[in-house]
Every structure is written in structure tokens, then in C-alpha cells.
């Protein structure tokens, strides 16, 4: 069994850009756009425990700042177990990470992210 720890360096800038774009959109009051960037960061970071847990932390903060009780309650268990599942390579691939989707449901990865992931892993 392969244990995952750190995100490949070729993938990290894309993950960080999604997080930055999420923060910038949030600061401008573009909440849906901000959330979409967090979901994309989740897809990119999901296989890597620290990145995965960090996105759930950011999603929890988003829920707190927007006073979204469903998101707050949904993010707490994801924050607690998401990184562990990543560490052992047991994740629902493509899952966007929000409380609006079942936590164990695999989902289709958007084509642009699929290409980024493939290029980053193959380098």
C-alpha cells in the first residue's frame, strides 16, 4: 500500500492558486466563486493529507464567515478524518468536499483539473 504525504511540487502552484483565488473572491463578496475555488483546491489536494485537511479548514472557516450551519457541521467530521483517508490512499476521487455532497461519493474531475493532475504526477 502506498502512503501519501506531500503534494508533488508540480501540482502545488495550481492548488495554491485555487486557494488564493478563493480568498480574493471572498474578499470581493463573490461567495459562489470563492466556494468554487475551494472545491477545486479540494479536488487537487484531496490525495495529500496536509493539503486535504487545510482545504477542509478553509471550508469550515467559509461556513463560519457565511453563518452556514450545514457547512460548519458538515466540515467538522471531514476535517477530522479527511487527512487520514488521504494518508492511506482511500479517498472518493473527485469529491468536491462540501457538505452539499456525500463525503464518500466519487465525482467526475473537471477536464482542466484532470489535465493538471496528470501532467503534475507524470513529471
**Is residue 4 within 8 Å of residue 89, measured between CB atoms?**
yes
Q: Model confidence at 104, in pLDDT bands (50, 70, 90)?
A: confident
Q: Rounded to the nearest 5 degrees, what angle is found at the Cα of 24, between the Cα atoms of 60 and 63?
A: 15
Q: What pLDDT digit, counting tens, does each position of 28-50 carry?
A: 999 999 999 999 999 999 999 99
- Spatial neighbors of 79 by CB under 8 A, at least 6 apart, are 53, 56, 57, 60
DSSP label at residue 101:
S
d(CA 66, CA 64): 6
Q: Tell me the per-residue pLDDT of 40-89, one tens digit each, with 9 for 90 and over.
A: 999 999 999 999 999 999 999 999 999 999 999 999 999 988 887 887 77
Return the domain boundaries, the chain.
12-121
Amino acid at each position: 500500500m502506498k502512503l501519501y504525504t506531500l503534494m508533488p511540487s508540480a501540482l502545488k502552484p495550481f492548488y495554491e492558486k485555487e486557494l488564493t483565488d478563493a480568498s480574493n473572491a471572498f474578499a470581493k463578496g463573490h461567495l459562489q466563486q470563492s466556494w468554487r475555488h475551494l472545491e477545486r483546491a479540494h479536488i487537487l489536494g484531496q490525495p495529500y493529507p496536509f493539503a486535504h485537511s487545510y482545504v477542509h479548514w478553509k471550508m469550515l472557516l467559509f461556513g463560519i464567515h457565511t453563518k452556514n450551519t450545514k457547512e460548519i457541521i458538515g466540515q467538522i467530521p471531514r476535517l477530522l478524518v479527511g487527512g487520514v483517508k488521504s494518508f492511506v490512499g482511500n479517498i472518493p476521487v473527485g469529491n468536491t468536499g462540501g457538505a452539499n455532497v456525500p463525503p464518500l461519493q466519487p465525482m467526475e474531475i473537471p477536464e482542466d483539473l484532470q489535465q493538471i493532475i496528470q501532467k503534475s504526477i507524470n513529471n
